[in-house]
Structure 1
Amino acid sequence: MKKPIKIIIWGLSAGLVLALAAGLGVMWPFLTYPQTTVSIDRLAPLQVPAQEQFMAGIGVRDITTPIGIPKMGYSAWARQADGFRTRLKARAFYLKPVAGEPMVVIQADLPASSLLLLRKVSEAVARQTDVAFHNISLHATHTHSGPGQYLSSDFYNIFGSDNPGFDPDVFEFLVSQIADAVIAAFQQQRPAKVAIGTQSIYGVTKNRAMGAYVKNNNVAGKQQNDAAALRAVNPQLTLVRIDGQTDSGEFKPMGAFSTFAIHGTGIPPFTHPYHGDVWAFFERDLEQRIASHYQPPWQPVHGPFEANHADNNPNYRKGMRGDSETRRIGLALSDQAWQIFSSLDSQLTDQVRITTAQRELDLLDPVSDPDKLLCERAIAGTAIVGAAKDDEVFPVSYIPWFQRGWPDSGERDCHREKRWMLSGLQQWALAPSRYPHKLVLHVFQLNELLLVGLPFEITLEAGNRIGKAVTKVAPESVEQVVVSSHSNGFFGYSVTDEEYSAQWYEGGHTLYGPRTTEFLARQSARLVKDMSLQPGLSEMPESWAFSLVSRHFFPQERKPEGQRMQVRVPRFVAGTVDTEPYWQWDYVDVATSDMELHQPLMQIEASADGEHFTPLMSGAFQPVSDEGYDMQIRYLEDLQHGMSRYQLRWYNPQVAIPGQWFRFQVAPRSGLAEITSSAFR
Structure 2
Amino acid sequence: MRKPRTRTLLLTLLGTAILGAVLHAAWPFLFYPRQTLSFSFPAQPITAEGTVAKAGIAERDITPPIGMPKFGYSAWARDADGFRTRLKARAFYLSGPGQTPLAIVQLDLGSGSLVLRHRVAELVMERTDVPAHALTLLVTHSHSGPGQYLGSDFYNVFGSNKPGFDPALFEFLSQRIADAVIDAYESRREARFAVGQSDLFGVTRNRSMAAWANNFPDQDQSTADPMQAVNPTMTLLRIDQRQGDHFEPAGALSLYSIHGTAIPPFTRPYHADVWHWISEELERQFAGNHSRFIHGVAQATHADNNPAWQEDLRGDLEAERIGKALGSHAIRLFHSLEPRLSPTLTTAIASRQLDLLDDIEGGRFELCERAIAGASVAGAANGDEVFPVSYLPFLAENWPRRFFTDNCQGVKQWMLSKLQLLLPAERFPHQALFQIVRINQLVLVPLPWEITLESGNRIRQAVAATLPEGPDWQVEISSLANGYFGYAVTPEEYALQYYEGGHTLYGPHTLDFLIQQSVRLSRDLQQQGNIDQIPRQQTFSLLSRQYFPEMLTAPGPRRWVNAPTHYQGNATTGPYWSLELSAEAANRMALDHPLLAIHCHDHVITDDSAELQLLHLRDTEKETGRYEVRWYPGTQPPSRPCRFAVDTGERQPLFSAPVP
Fold in common (TM above 0.5): yes
Residue 286 of structure 2 corresponds to residue 306 of structure 1: no
Matched letter for residue 111 of structure 1: G
Other-structure match for 1:503: 497
Question: How far does residue 125 in structure 1 lie from its aligned partner after superposition?
Answer: 1.1
Give secondary structure in 1 for the equivalent of 2:606: coil
Other-structure match for 1:564: 558
Residue 373 of structure 2 corresponds to residue 380 of structure 1: yes
Whole-Å Cα distance in 1 between the matches of residues 100 and 47 of structure 2? 11
Whole-Å Cα distance in 2 between the matches of residues 561 and 286 of structure 1? 32
Question: How far does residue 535 in structure 1 lie from its aligned partner after superposition?
Answer: 1.4
1:641/1:655 CA distance change after superposition, 3 Å: farther
Residue 128 of structure 2 corresponds to residue 149 of structure 1: no
Question: How far does residue 559 in structure 1 lie from its aligned partner after superposition?
Answer: 7.6
Give secondary structure in 1 for the equivalent of 2:142: coil
Q: Which deviates more, 641-650 or 370-379?
A: 370-379
Question: How far does residue 515 in structure 1 lie from its aligned partner after superposition?
Answer: 0.8
Residue deviations 1:301-331 (CA, integer Å, cap 9, x gap): 0001000110000011111100001000000
Whole-Å Cα distance in 2 between the matches of residues 258 and 561 of structure 1? 36
Q: In the comparison of the two structures, how many residue pairs are matched? A: 658
Whole-Å Cα distance in 2 between the matches of residues 657 and 271 of structure 1? 28
Question: How far does residue 366 in structure 1 lie from its aligned partner after superposition?
Answer: 2.4
Whole-Å Cα distance in 2 between the matches of residues 561 and 274 of structure 1? 20
Other-structure match for 2:390: 397
Matched letter for residue 647 of structure 1: E
Whole-Å Cα distance in 2 between the matches of residues 631 and 559 of structure 1? 22
Matched letter for residue 112 of structure 1: S
Question: How far does residue 656 in structure 1 lie from its aligned partner after superposition?
Answer: 6.2
Alignment of structure 1 residues 508-657 onto 2, 5 Å: 508-555=502-549, 557=551, 563-574=557-568, 576-607=570-601, 617=603, 623-653=604-634
Other-structure match for 2:401: 408
* Counterpart among 285, 292, 303 of residue 289 in structure 1: 285
Whole-Å Cα distance in 2 between the matches of residues 243 and 494 of structure 1? 36
Question: How far does residue 99 in structure 1 lie from its aligned partner after superposition?
Answer: 2.6
Residue 231 of structure 2 corresponds to residue 206 of structure 1: no
Matched letter for residue 276 of structure 1: A
Partners of 1:111 and 1:147 within 8 A in 2: yes
Alignment of structure 1 residues 91-490 onto 2, 5 Å: 91-217=90-216, 220-223=219-222, 228-246=225-243, 248-291=244-287, 295-367=288-360, 370-410=363-403, 411-428=405-422, 430-476=423-469, 477-490=471-484
Question: How far does residue 386 in structure 1 lie from its aligned partner after superposition?
Answer: 0.6
Whole-Å Cα distance in 2 between the matches of residues 327 and 561 of structure 1? 31
Partners of 1:46 and 1:131 within 8 A in 2: no
Partners of 1:495 and 1:517 within 8 A in 2: yes
Structure 2 unaligned spans of 5+: none
Other-structure match for 1:620: none
Whole-Å Cα distance in 2 between the matches of residues 633 and 416 of structure 1? 48
Partners of 1:560 and 1:643 within 8 A in 2: no
Question: How far does residue 46 in structure 1 lie from its aligned partner after superposition?
Answer: 8.8
Question: How far does residue 562 in structure 1 lie from its aligned partner after superposition?
Answer: 7.7
Partners of 1:106 and 1:139 within 8 A in 2: yes
Give secondary structure in 1 for the equivalent of 2:290: coil
1:14/1:632 CA distance change after superposition, 3 Å: closer
Alignment of structure 1 residues 32-71 onto 2, 5 Å: 32-45=31-44, 50-71=49-70
Matched letter for residue 491 of structure 1: F
Whole-Å Cα distance in 2 between the matches of residues 578 and 301 of structure 1? 28
Whole-Å Cα distance in 2 between the matches of residues 594 and 146 of structure 1? 19
Whole-Å Cα distance in 2 between the matches of residues 150 and 26 of structure 1? 19
Matched letter for residue 35 of structure 2: T
Q: Which deviates more, 639-648 or 510-519?
A: 639-648
Question: How far does residue 343 in structure 1 lie from its aligned partner after superposition?
Answer: 1.4
Residue deviations 1:499-548 (CA, integer Å, cap 9, x gap): 00111100010000011111101111111011000111111211111110
Question: How far does residue 642 in structure 1 lie from its aligned partner after superposition?
Answer: 1.7
1:657/1:240 CA distance change after superposition, 3 Å: closer
Q: Which deviates more, 58-67 or 7-16?
A: 7-16
1:421/1:83 CA distance change after superposition, 3 Å: same
* Counterpart among 645, 653, 656 of residue 665 in structure 1: 645
Give secondary structure in 2 for the equivalent of 1:468: helix
Residue 657 of structure 2 corresponds to residue 678 of structure 1: yes
Other-structure match for 1:76: 75
RMSD, aligned α-carbons: 2.1
Whole-Å Cα distance in 1 between the matches of residues 115 and 218 of structure 2? 38
Give secondary structure in 2 for the equivalent of 1:290: coil
Whole-Å Cα distance in 2 between the matches of residues 117 and 654 of structure 1? 39
Question: How far does residue 481 in structure 1 lie from its aligned partner after superposition?
Answer: 0.8
Whole-Å Cα distance in 2 between the matches of residues 387 and 495 of structure 1? 16
Question: How far does residue 566 in structure 1 lie from its aligned partner after superposition?
Answer: 2.2
Structure 1 unaligned spans of 5+: 608-615, 618-622
Matched letter for residue 637 of structure 1: R
Whole-Å Cα distance in 2 between the matches of residues 603 and 96 of structure 1? 37
Matched letter for residue 70 of structure 2: K
1:657/1:593 CA distance change after superposition, 3 Å: closer
Whole-Å Cα distance in 1 between the matches of residues 87 and 5 of structure 2? 57
Residue deviations 1:109-148 (CA, integer Å, cap 9, x gap): 0000001000110011112111111111110000000000
Whole-Å Cα distance in 2 between the matches of residues 224 and 545 of structure 1? 52
Partners of 1:582 and 1:651 within 8 A in 2: yes
Whole-Å Cα distance in 1 between the matches of residues 34 and 580 of structure 2? 40
Give secondary structure in 2 for the equivalent of 1:464: helix
Residue deviations 1:12-37 (CA, integer Å, cap 9, x gap): 55554433322211110011111111
Question: How far does residue 563 in structure 1 lie from its aligned partner after superposition?
Answer: 4.0
Whole-Å Cα distance in 2 between the matches of residues 575 and 345 of structure 1? 42
Matched letter for residue 661 of structure 1: P
1:107/1:219 CA distance change after superposition, 3 Å: farther
Partners of 1:59 and 1:91 within 8 A in 2: yes
Whole-Å Cα distance in 2 between the matches of residues 277 and 219 of structure 1? 38
Residue deviations 1:449-494 (CA, integer Å, cap 9, x gap): 1111100000000101111111111222352110110111100000
Whole-Å Cα distance in 1 between the matches of residues 262 and 465 of structure 2? 36
Residue deviations 1:69-120 (CA, integer Å, cap 9, x gap): 0010000000110110111000110000113111111110000000100011
Give secondary structure in 1 for the equivalent of 2:419: helix
Question: How far does residue 576 in structure 1 lie from its aligned partner after superposition?
Answer: 4.7
1:451/1:47 CA distance change after superposition, 3 Å: closer
Question: How far does residue 579 in structure 1 lie from its aligned partner after superposition?
Answer: 3.0
Partners of 1:153 and 1:548 within 8 A in 2: yes
Whole-Å Cα distance in 1 between the matches of residues 636 and 192 of structure 2? 42
Structure-2-length-normalised TM-score = 0.96
Partners of 2:147 and 2:160 within 8 A in 1: yes
Residue deviations 1:408-436 (CA, integer Å, cap 9, x gap): 113141111110011111111x1101100
Whole-Å Cα distance in 2 between the matches of residues 518 and 208 of structure 1? 23
Residue deviations 1:200-235 (CA, integer Å, cap 9, x gap): 10001000010111111377341366xx00000000
Partners of 2:48 and 2:101 within 8 A in 1: no
Percent identity between matched residues is 45
